[in-house]
Structure 1
Amino acid sequence: MTNSHLLFGLFFLQVAGTLLAAGIRAVATLLTVRRALRGARPRDRAAILRSVARITLALHDRRE
């Protein structure tokens, strides 16, 4: 194995770890929102979904 193979392997592991961590955070967020929506009244549900949309848009704008 050459150094370039090892570097590529480390790079691949870092990318895979980053994607896995992002996926875990996304699933945890979805489960939290689902739990909050489950017992909420319709007006509260709308407020929760608006908050989630606002946060999602803010995160998207921050990344650009």
Structure 2
Amino acid sequence: MAKKAKKIVRREYTKADVKQLRAHSKARTPVVKIAKLTKRSEGSLRQKAQKLGISLGHRR
């Protein structure tokens, strides 16, 4: 029996989400951790951060 593909659920970024993302950016929280907290993919977070003009991760 074939496995069903996981349905992609798209959620808009709210003002609170953006505020939280900016706070994590300032605190240099790893992207993996932010992804688990916000229940969003790493790629989604990185794209949103790029649009906002902020950086994510530890920045070595």
Query: TM-score of the superposition, structure 1-length normalised?
Result: 0.28
Q: Bigger radius of gyration, 1 or 2?
A: 1
- Compare the two structures and name the one with the higher helix fraction: 1
Query: TM-score of the superposition, structure 2-length normalised?
Result: 0.30
Larger RCO: 1 or 2 (CA < 8 Å, sep 6+) = 2
